[in-house]
């Protein structure tokens, strides 16, 4: 059985997240991929994703792997899958991997980007891909606040908790925090060795409070140490978030 790795981009607007929700009738990216690959290969394909993006969240560089006995050359899935997938899911590249490659467990880090559209009036063409902020932001203050997230920290106060999935370790290492402005678009880039549920969206919501002068940049270290979710910013809406890259 060949172990095939795909790099996948998708518009998450019409999907209830990446992960399959079998039996619910809800559309997910994973189920679309599995249906397409099963039809292509003749195998009952199950894909493993590098991350579980939520409903409405997008990806430019999601990575999945699957095993198949198909004779399709590994690099041809880019073209073979095109006719089987909806237009909002695209296989960007495909390659053969060692038998033991695992898209999730072998990932060394991920990069996410969150997009803000900062203008009094929202551009309708960005409504599914950015969070509307109808006021100007203090970008330099946001950058000073963002720098405090760099390094290894206990991010318990920056995640949503699922009672069905108890967590034992909230420590993650963030090695990239960048805020870049281009016209009305403000882009927050966050890179790290791993992320908790809603972590990037909560960090973004906290920095948005800094940008609107509701929170001081230097308050971030004390906030991290508190480990209290109620003290951090709101969880930003999903449409501004993109899984940009998975690193191996």
* Predicted pLDDT of residue 23: 82
* Predicted pLDDT of residue 71: 95
In three state form, how does the secondary structure of 80-117 look?
HCCCCCCCCEEEEEEEEECCCCCCCCCCCEEEEEEEEE
Residue 106 annotated in active site: no
- Are 144 and 218 found together in one domain? yes
Range of the domain at 43: 2-97
102 found inside a domain: no
47 found inside a domain: yes
Q: Which of 64, 97, 130 is the last residue of a domain?
A: 97
Identified catalytic residue from 54, 100, 106, 138: 54
- Are 136 and 207 found together in one domain? yes
pTM: 0.95
Cβ-contact 126, 167 below 8 angstroms: no
* Predicted pLDDT of residue 164: 67
- Of all residues in the chain, what percent carry a pLDDT higher than 90? 95
């Amino acid at each position: 059985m060949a172990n095939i790795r795909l790099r996948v981009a998708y518009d998450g607007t019409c999907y209830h997240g990446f992960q399959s929700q079998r039996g619910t009738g809800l559309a997910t990216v994973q189920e679309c991929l599995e249906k397409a690959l099963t039809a292509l290969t003749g195998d009952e394909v199950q894909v493993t994703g590098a991350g579980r993006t939520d409903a409405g969240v997008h990806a430019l560089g999601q990575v999945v792997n699957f095993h198949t006995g198909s004779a399709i050359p590994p690099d041809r899935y880019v073209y073979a899958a095109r006719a089987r997938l909806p237009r909002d899911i695209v296989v960007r590249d495909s390659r053969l991997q060692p038998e033991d490659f695992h898209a999730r467990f072998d990932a060394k880090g991920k990069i996410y980007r969150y997009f803000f559209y900062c203008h009094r009036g929202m551009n309708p063409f960005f409504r599914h891909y950015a969070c509307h902020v109808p006021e100007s932001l203090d970008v330099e203050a946001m950058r000073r606040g963002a720098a405090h997230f760099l390094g290894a920290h206990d991010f318990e106060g920056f995640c949503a908790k699922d009672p069905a999935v108890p967590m034992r370790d909230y420590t993650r290492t963030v090695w990239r925090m960048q805020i870049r402005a281009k016209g009305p678009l403000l882009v927050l880039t966050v890179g790290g060795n791993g992320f908790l549920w809603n972590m990037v969206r909560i960090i973004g919501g906290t920095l948005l409070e800094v940008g609107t002068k509701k929170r001081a940049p230097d308050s971030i270290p004390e906030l991290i140490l508190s480990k209290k979710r109620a003290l951090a910013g709101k969880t930003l809406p999903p449409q501004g978030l993109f899984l940009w890259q998975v690193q191996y």
